[in-house]
Structure 1
Amino acid sequence: MSRILPSTNHNGDSAEKEPLVPKVKVEQPEDKMFLRKVGPYQFYALLVFLITYLLNQLDRYMLAITIKPMAQELEFGDKGCMIMSNYTESDLGDVKCNALQEQKYLKMRSCFSSREAGCTPFVASMLTDIYPSELRGTALGIYNWGIYMGYSMSYALGNLITAADINGQGWRWSFFISGIPGIAVGILMLITLKEPERKNASKEAQKADNEGTKEVTASDGICVKLGRILKPFLAPSLILAIVAGSIRNAAGYVFAYNTQPYFNSIGESKEDIAKYMGWIPIVGGSLSVAVGGFISDMVVKGRGIYARVAVIVASLLLAAPFAAGTLFFSPPWAYICQIPTYLFGEMWIGITLAIVVELIPSSVRTSAVAVYLFIISNIGGNMPLLVPPIQNAFEDDGLTKSQSLRGALYILYPGLYVLGAVLFIPAMFLLKRDQERARELEYVNMEETK
């Protein structure tokens, strides 16, 4: 009986026998924890950007909280307007004073919008290159925690520190405390952060690059530079997304600049307002943008960018009734309604920014994001100017100042939530169309290379 010898390799060694039962590759479940997917540098960069944005927002809202004691002490502005620095508590019958205030506000808002465009565009572009698409929404959402942290801290510092009157300097210490840390953070960024390699563009953005969007160089003329930066904004889907985002942003500005006047008008003290608004935006807003980014990152897998917009529409429609509840109920329930309002209503920020950076070619991403922020900040930031005329119209119908302010806020706060959601719906379908066109183009290119 012959014996079967084991096979040998060219060195004469016996080769390993194949197993009788083939090995089955067991796939490990996907780790969906954000912190387990990011590296140390990714986490560190995000933390530094978050602190930077917090300080950026803190000084902005600090001005809204401390403007009245500042105006009274420094005696700046028109004398008649200075005395009634909080326009919702004033007699708005003086047309000259109103026009002067609106002109000053428009100029100030444009300056703020230009200054804001110096932070987030660079950060959004860098985070897009640092984080892959499945983590991008979450990263941008965490970065936007800075808005709510800065906004909440402005009540604590602006009201309580000013009232403490440290060294007899009142409101000045609010700005000392909020401004000095920025110097240290700026030095830290300069030393420890590095410019990432440009990558992680979506198929739509890559298509735009392939169709002729080139790197903007110093040798290009102003018109050429501006044309390349503005070209992505000609897409109907991006236009609608920006308009819808501007409307939703306007609702936030309206209530942010009227929170203290409104609660004062219904009998709440500055200390009462700080007690609730000093923590609600941090908790509700921070959870909202992080959860919203995480959810959009999950639904975008296998569906594409347009699925992110569906999350925005649903969140805004869920938040609108609670925003109305803030105006309908008396404290403390008015404050409590702010928690779900923030929890659902602030998801749009990180998601919309993620949509914009994915639709814009990497070669012009930073400048284009600056344009995006300039647009939504000017449209949204100037919307509070509509509060006084609407309030006047209600007063002419016989309502009190408090009731008139509440009526104006019903229109420009929960009302704009609903309008923003409605405008996001056609943007969602246009994004889906653009995504399908990009996939068809990619399929045709693959067929041609065969």
Structure 2
Amino acid sequence: MGTISMLKSAGTYPTYVLFILMLVYLVNQMDRYVLAVSSKPMAKDIHFGDRICELTNGSKSAACNATDEASCVSSFIHVSNNSNDTMACDWAYSGTGIEYEVLAGPVFIVMFTLVGVTLSPLADRKKTNRRSWLGIAVAMWSLMNVLASFSTAYWQLVLTRLGLGVFEAICTPFAVSLINDYFDKNLQGTALGVYNWGIYIGFSMAFALKLLIKSVGWRWTFRVSGFPGILLSAVMFLTVKEPTRRSLSLSPEPSMDSSDELVPKKRVSKWSRLKSMVRELMRFEIILVALTSGVRSAGGYVLAYSVNQYFSEHDVNVAFYMSWVPLVGGVLGAAIGGFASDRLSKKYGLQGRLMLLVGSQLLAVPFAFGVVYLPNPVMAFISLLITFVFGEAYLGVAIAIVTTVVSSRARTFAVAVFIFVISNIGGNATLLVPTMNAALPHGLQDTLTILYCSGYIIAALSFFITLMKLRQVQELHTPSSVLLDAALDADEEFEYPSSPVDDGDDRSATSPLILNQRRSTSNTRLMPRQASLTQVDDRDMAECQSWSQAIAVNWRRSSVESRQQAAAHSAPTTYGDEMKTYRSTDDVQRAPKTIHHEDDDEDFDDAFQPSIRNNTDDD
């Protein structure tokens, strides 16, 4: 109910768009995992992967235990049934092995991650229509699955799988960018949690399609998975609008100079912009959260592509349980996790989201071991359900953390890099499965223990380290930031201690930040000595929000007053070799685009939390 009420507060149309994006992600995951449920009949038809000795009807028997083709085909057993049939053992393709793992992992992941990182900066450009890109992408990756159904050779499956990776790479970076513009920062966790429902519903629907294979075959299963995406593409073009862009990050957007005068906006090269975005991503919390999510993703990939094989020795309908367990558990986990993280974020900030990640992963640990070690398959699937509820809250919350601590210009790029990391760690982990199965004493059970169960323990520890590190940094800044806010309120001179962070500029590590906030002095600027604001924003701002807010407030007050004073006295302002004179406030408002004017002040305020404007209302 909490999730529903929070979505209602966002409005009907944004909620509708979120629902459409969730369906897009659903189709994305269904088309990706349909390979896992149809690999065996596909391998038998196209001939790839490992081969095993089994009955001609595809079931296992103790009599069919040969390890080579000659011994297998010479084995016959008598099956007692109404027709007294005699069945032979068959040396058949099992749908497993290195060729299958390559198809499931690297063939898809390589294109998926490279294209995602390459195209993601386009989503941050104002001229890019993200709705159109996403609509085309969903139609094209669905078409790849339809084309795969006509494959008659292994290389054709590889090509269509590559195409699937190319177009699915567009999905999450562009969808998250749309969500960030449709929903307020305080609803990010909830909205991303709902969006991630698509993972679990799509994954479950892929296993539900397995029920069609016996009746219509694997080829029609691929076609059925592809058609909905083509229809959904048309719905997107007809009903989804491109939203107005806004900033939701903690880092300020505009670039300013340390001069007291108005400064022209400089053209920034693409290379400089890329270096700036990469520098934003070099934050410890982003690196640790991405690597940890990759470890968790590895466990999910390994389980998804091994669950049929693991439970094949038990008399249990895997498709039945996997068609609803991930759906129910994953949706509940994502919804509860997103809602709870938003509530904790309001009270504790970024630390609140990390607290949730630590707690959820710890709670999932015993149930993850239950999936692998409970002797009763039914109890194992019930344990998997609970594991999903606790453990799958991590993804939406992790993305919310990443999009919060970077500026809007790097938001989509950050999401793409995040997906690049978790997909390469997670997707390529499936390559370890055949080797580990052969090397470990208990085969696949030991492999799942290491790659799946242990992932929750590692994730909990890593998220806890991130939380402690973030708390240490914030405590280091808090005393000074509190004094800074007090100085602004009291209109008194205040000396800010030097920043312990090396910003890579020429500023001395011991040089102080002098705040002289006197309303009687109109041109006072709150800036670090011999440094511009952009030299301290990327690394310091998220940890010391009050510092950034105070800088924003003082900069806005002083710049407005300076322009008004300059206009009133017809004061000339020099920009390089040019001299321009503005004789009134109206002239300032009509200044060329190279001159920073009043509208930019409002854009600058939007880069910070709404409380900034409240702080300046009385001025």
Q: Using structure 1 for the length normalisation, give the TM-score.
A: 0.79
Task: Show CA shifts across 1:345-378 (max 9, x none).
Answer: 0000110111111122112322331222122111
Q: In structure 2, what is the Cα distance between the partners aligned to 1:180 and 1:229? A: 38
Q: How does 1:146-185 map to 2 (within 5 A)?
A: 146-157=198-209, 159-165=210-216, 170-185=217-232
Specify the SS of the correspondent of 2:188: helix
**Contact 2:212–2:221 (8 Å) recurs in 1:** yes
Q: In structure 2, what is the Cα distance between the partners aligned to 1:408 and 1:211? A: 54
Q: How does 1:11-160 map to 2 (within 5 A)?
A: 33-75=5-47, 77=48, 81=49, 83=51, 105-113=105-113, 114=115, 115=165, 116-157=168-209, 159-160=210-211
Q: In structure 2, what is the Cα distance between the partners aligned to 1:438 and 1:90? A: 67
Find the counterpart in structure 2 of residue 186 from structure 1.
233
1:441 is aligned to 2:558: no
1:238 is aligned to 2:289: no
Q: In structure 2, what is the Cα distance between the partners aligned to 1:108 and 1:56? A: 13
Structure 1 residue 74: deviation in Å?
2.0
Structure 2 residue corresponding to 1:274, chosen from 319, 334, 337: 319
2:227 is matched by which residue type in structure 1? I
Structure 1 residue 57: deviation in Å?
0.3
Structure 1 residue 192: deviation in Å?
1.7
Find the counterpart in structure 2 of residue 291 from structure 1.
336
Structure 1 residue 73: deviation in Å?
0.8
- Change in Cα spacing, 1:139 to 1:82, as seen in structure 2 (3 Å) is same
Q: In structure 2, what is the Cα distance between the partners aligned to 1:350 and 1:411? A: 24
- Change in Cα spacing, 1:332 to 1:35, as seen in structure 2 (3 Å) is same
Structure 2 residue corresponding to 1:365, chosen from 389, 411, 431: 411
1:331 is aligned to 2:377: yes
Q: In structure 1, what is the Cα distance between the partners aligned to 2:227 and 2:66? A: 35
Q: In structure 1, what is the Cα distance between the partners aligned to 2:324 and 2:347? A: 37
- Change in Cα spacing, 1:191 to 1:367, as seen in structure 2 (3 Å) is farther
Higher share in helix:
1
1:59 is matched by which residue type in structure 2? D
Specify the SS of the correspondent of 1:237: helix
Specify the SS of the correspondent of 2:25: helix
Structure 1 residue 45: deviation in Å?
0.1
1:302 is matched by which residue type in structure 2? K
Q: What are structure 1's unaligned runs of at least 5 residues?
A: 1-29, 92-96, 213-217, 396-402
Q: How does 1:403-414 map to 2 (within 5 A)?
A: 403-414=442-453
Specify the SS of the correspondent of 2:347: coil
Find the counterpart in structure 1 of residue 460 from structure 2.
421
2:6 is matched by which residue type in structure 1? F
Q: In structure 2, what is the Cα distance between the partners aligned to 1:390 and 1:142? A: 36
- Change in Cα spacing, 1:445 to 1:43, as seen in structure 2 (3 Å) is closer
**Contact 2:297–2:422 (8 Å) recurs in 1:** yes
Find the counterpart in structure 2 of residue 3 from structure 1.
none
Structure 1 residue 325: deviation in Å?
0.5
Structure 1 residue 98: deviation in Å?
7.1
1:73 is matched by which residue type in structure 2? D
- Change in Cα spacing, 1:355 to 1:155, as seen in structure 2 (3 Å) is same
**Contact 2:22–2:196 (8 Å) recurs in 1:** yes
Q: In structure 2, what is the Cα distance between the partners aligned to 1:428 and 1:232? A: 19
Q: In structure 1, what is the Cα distance between the partners aligned to 2:19 and 2:99? A: 41
Q: In structure 1, what is the Cα distance between the partners aligned to 2:204 and 2:3? A: 33
1:42 is matched by which residue type in structure 2? P
Q: In structure 2, what is the Cα distance between the partners aligned to 1:428 and 1:90? A: 53
Q: In structure 1, what is the Cα distance between the partners aligned to 2:315 and 2:427? A: 25
Specify the SS of the correspondent of 1:332: helix
Q: In structure 1, what is the Cα distance between the partners aligned to 2:465 and 2:4? A: 31
**Contact 2:329–2:386 (8 Å) recurs in 1:** yes
Find the counterpart in structure 1 of residue 120 from structure 2.
none
Q: In structure 2, what is the Cα distance between the partners aligned to 1:359 and 1:56? A: 27
> Larger relative CO (CA 8 A, sep 6+): 1 or 2?
1
Structure 1 residue 32: deviation in Å?
8.4
**Contact 1:133–1:200 (8 Å) recurs in 2:** no
**Contact 2:101–2:430 (8 Å) recurs in 1:** no
Find the counterpart in structure 1 of residue 422 from structure 2.
376
Task: Show CA shifts across 1:253-291 (max 9, x none).
Answer: 111111111111x3245xx11121110111010010010
